Structure 1
Amino acid sequence: MTHLRPAAVAGAFYPGDAGQLSRTLDDLLAEARRHTPASAPPPKAIIAPHAGYVYSGPVAARAYARLAPLAGRVTRVVLLGPAHRVAFRGMALPTVDAFATPLGPLRLDRAAIAGVVESVPGCGYSDQAHAEEHSLEVHLPFLRAVLGDVALVPVCVGEARPEEVAALLDRLWGGPETLIVVSTDLSHYLDYDTGRRFDADTRTAIETLDAAALSYDRACGRTPMGGLLLAARARGLSIETLDVRSSGDTAGPRDRVVGYGAWALVEPQADGSAAAAAAEASPDPETAIEAMLARHGADLIALARHSIENGLTRGEPLAVDPATVAEPLRHNGACFVTLTVDGALRGCIGSPQAWRPLAQDVAENAWRSAFHDPRFPPVSAREWPAVAVALSVLTPPQPFPVRDEDDLVARLRPGVDGLILGEHGARGLFLPAVWETLPDPREFVRALKRKAGLPPGHWSDAITLERFAAKSVKG
């Protein structure tokens, strides 16, 4: 039986009705996307406020709009916020299995929680600390709406040192599958001009990753945010201020305002993955992928099927040690895994960019296609024998500048080109296989715009395009 933490502030801090909440989030994120460059790198961590949506929602949305490219890639969110309701020493984690939201529950990563309680000083269990706490809860609908079904590690931070929080983050940092979210408001109940001055000082401290310059009276989440800034400085992350406003700018009076801010923290950008470097060195990456699949395609299909079978029996993807697979499968690679039943789509999830060994990418994406494609229910043991598995390995996406839609339609190669289209945070991707059902280039482009959430007849100079190829294997 699943033990669930009920939503404590639904209907107060944010709408308690699922339909109204979805509409509210759609409106907030649509406005935020207007300010989100399509070329913005996806963050490893964000800092966002936790007041009622009418007050801080527009600022929080600026951070969550940056996460759109991470949907399907991030599988775990470490969420930290300050304790407002219960006084305690250290960092509190819950014993329940999931947190409820009006949009559906978010499951907890029980193994990760047990690991930090056992190994990180200052961590312990306390459901009481979480029961009425809003600093974490107000982020859950945003996470559910933007990232879907992700596992959660919720940490309520009491009296602790930023260094203790940094140690917890080191334990949970992970790779691209893990996102860190820190919840904090800024100054409280000052007049508008004084609040702006105080928040400007806090902004400077955050932008310079200066945890020591933060104070409780200017950021209620000083401790979890300070821990993140320490970790970010140690790991060489860069930080970008997305928005700083107060309730006097959104929905409240100006004699007693609360400040809000949103920031995105990005890990250092390497000079390209192994697969990308190999593609740059080779005049024809498509040929290299085709040759690799000719030798190892059957192995990759078997790996995908084993990972799904592991999901059916153990509830998790197959763990792949790169040292145990053929050398070409140890290089970073990007793949999509597609499942069909009698020719009808049953699931498709993948990675547009190469960031981990191809064998691991295949295992993880196969598992997610079977059990976490939001368009379909999880694959059952009964239907599994009828499921066909195919995978496509992608070449590195390359910028594809065009003059206008007519130029794009004229230059596309039907049956060959995959395409990524984006504008202000909206993003859509079509594999080359989509040409089988959309052979007309103009309809292909317009359908891709619909997938990205844009009107099919829309065009603007802000649209960005990337083109790639893919080689496929079935089994």
Structure 2
Amino acid sequence: MKMCLFSLLAFVFILGLFANEKIRQPLLAGSWYEGSQEALNKQLDTFFTRAADNVKETFDEPPLALIVPHAGYIYSGLGAASGYRLLIKHKFERIIILAFSHSSNHSSIAVSDFDAYKTPLGDVPVDTALAKELLKQKEIFETIPSIDQREHSMEIQLPFIKKTAPEAKVLGLYVGTLSDKQFSKAADFLKQYATPKTLFVVSSDFTHYGENYGYVPFPYNDNTKQYLATLDRGAINEILEYNYKGFLQYLKETGATICGRNPITLLSYILQTLNNKNIKGIQANYYTSGDITGDFSNSVSYATLAFYISSKGNKPNFPQLTEENKKFLLKLARDSIAYYFTHKSLMSIDDKKTPLSPALKIVRGAFVTLKINKQLRGCIGHIEPVQELYKDVIENAVNAAFSDPRFQPLTEAELPKVDIDISALTPFTKINNLDEILVGKHGIIIKKGFHQAVFLPQVPVEQGWNKTQYLENLCYKAGLKKDDYLDANLYIFSADVFAEPEFHHK
């Protein structure tokens, strides 16, 4: 009898503990993302499948940090999946979400005070022990329940975390507007958790463009998509180098409306504080809401970035393109332009019917250049690796023919006269000394404030420029003074360049 009574009391005590748990209820389930377990699993699986088709993992090591978007899943789901898929073959014990409040202007880091977060896929346990440790640092961390209860930038990450790291404990931190001293102190404290078993996730969208967002740095026209990519790329370059000073200066100079600037800045402080030269940043995906809706008059950008501590210490090497690879890509570029004349859409390839070598399916940046009688007729490309090489060639061949703002769209009568060059790029590296630039080998990216431009490695050779002329002309292209390269950010890269005349065919 006593044993039964004791068991009953213990059961009641345990029920009491669960009854006293603070569970955050989802606010967005059924609207921003699917509300049932079955439908949400299906939705996430679809995004992961699409992400796997477009993005390849670059390093074998577990990511140290991700930057992922936080809009409704119809917009941000692919971007988020492109980041969270990197978690699947690794096991994390703790995930720290660096979020922020869209409505509260606080000068601290608000710590979630729930015991668990409820999602349609099941409850996500909160790392309450870590929360208590952070709250001891009273000059930086505090609880603000009103933020935790209504803010979406943290909640939108939870289904992806439950799907890819089901055993991890999570803690949401809402990063307010901090002073340099606060950022530094917070980073010094949080860096101890930068281990292979802990992941930092920054929740942020990128540029919010258009009258609806009160930000129109350039007029809406046919070139808006390209201008947005350039604007976002300037910020992304600084973030990948975890250069918080450069990032904040870029925001000041351009006014770029990146909503998660505070958590991005904190992550950059943390990565710099670690003082590890082997931390590598990659861009896993980039697109805009305009790419989804077709309307760029009001558009939000979504960038997915990942950071690793690479044991290799170097950025990845790409497999060598064979002569057959090069011939295939050149023909693909020409066929893509011809296809666009008839169908007004991008050509697609069924790789089951047309087997593609691994070198063609590597995610890397590429430029396509069109010339008539050795004179430029169009040149468009991606510095950042955003999609598989063969897809990048298809897209940029069409863009070079029809969307280069310096030229009228190509005509069908001109196509037989066109010679096509392709430049398949290596990752770019920031330099600190002009002596690092080798004319003929290196392409250069210059960035200063809102101004940015790029020259491919072959340009100075074709123009007969020396290094100084190369840099001065790059400044002119970016809309800068000729000697602005002396205090601008410079990045170099190499390229595998090949052209139709080399193979005597069109």
User: Could you list the per-position Cα deviations for residues 13-64 of structure 1 after superposition, in whole angstroms to 9, with x for gaps in the alignment?
Assistant: 2111221111010010122123223854321111111011111111111111
Superposed displacement of residue 134, structure 1? 0.8
Q: Aligned to 1:132, which of 150, 158, 175?
A: 150
Mean CA deviation greater in 50-59 or 164-173: 164-173
Residue 22 of structure 1 corresponds to 41
Alignment partners' CA distance in 2, 1:217 and 1:163: 24
Aligned counterparts, 1:377-416, within 5 A: none
Residue 261 of structure 2 corresponds to 222
Aligned counterparts, 1:230-249, within 5 A: 230-235=269-274, 236=276, 237-249=279-291
Aligned counterparts, 1:200-215, within 5 A: 200-212=233-245, 213-214=247-248, 215=251
Residue 45 of structure 1 corresponds to 65
Mean CA deviation greater in 218-227 or 179-188: 218-227
Unaligned runs of 5+ in 2: 1-19, 211-219, 314-360, 363-506
Instruction: Please tell me whether residue 88 in structure 1 is matched to residue 119 in structure 2.
Output: no
Instruction: Please tell me whether residue 2 in structure 1 is matched to residue 44 in structure 2.
Output: no
**TM norm structure 1:** 0.54
SS at match of 2:303: strand
CA RMSD in angstroms comes to: 2.3
Mean CA deviation greater in 120-129 or 97-106: 120-129
Alignment partners' CA distance in 1, 2:169 and 2:305: 22
Q: Which amino acid aligns with 1:263?
A: L
Q: Aligned to 2:176, which of 158, 161, 168?
A: 158
Residue 399 of structure 1 corresponds to none
Residue 279 of structure 1 corresponds to none
Contact 1:62–1:262 (Cα < 8 Å) also in 2: yes
Aligned counterparts, 1:121-200, within 5 A: 121-161=139-179, 164-165=182-183, 167-172=185-190, 173-174=192-193, 175-190=195-210, 191=220, 192-193=224-225, 194-200=227-233
Contact 1:116–1:168 (Cα < 8 Å) also in 2: no
Unaligned runs of 5+ in 1: 272-422, 425-475
Residue 33 of structure 1 corresponds to 52
Superposed displacement of residue 252, structure 1? 5.6
Alignment partners' CA distance in 1, 2:94 and 2:294: 34
Contact 1:75–1:150 (Cα < 8 Å) also in 2: yes
Contact 2:187–2:273 (Cα < 8 Å) also in 1: no
Which 4+ runs in 1 deviate beyond 6 A?
none
Superposed displacement of residue 268, structure 1? 4.2
Alignment partners' CA distance in 2, 1:39 and 1:157: 29
Size of the alignment, in residue pairs? Answer: 271
Q: Aligned to 1:64, which of 74, 84, 88?
A: 84
Aligned counterparts, 1:264-275, within 5 A: 264-269=306-311
Alignment partners' CA distance in 2, 1:32 and 1:250: 15
Contact 1:186–1:220 (Cα < 8 Å) also in 2: yes
Give me the identity figure in percent. Answer: 27
Q: Which amino acid aligns with 1:17?
A: S
Distance 1:138 1:244, change over 3 A: same
Alignment partners' CA distance in 1, 2:272 and 2:56: 25
Residue 392 of structure 2 corresponds to none
SS at match of 1:69: coil
SS at match of 1:179: strand
User: Could you list the per-position Cα deviations for residues 60-108 of structure 1 after superposition, in whole angstroms to 9, with x for gaps in the alignment?
Assistant: 11111111121xx211100011211323221111222111111111111
**TM norm structure 2:** 0.51
Superposed displacement of residue 220, structure 1? 0.9
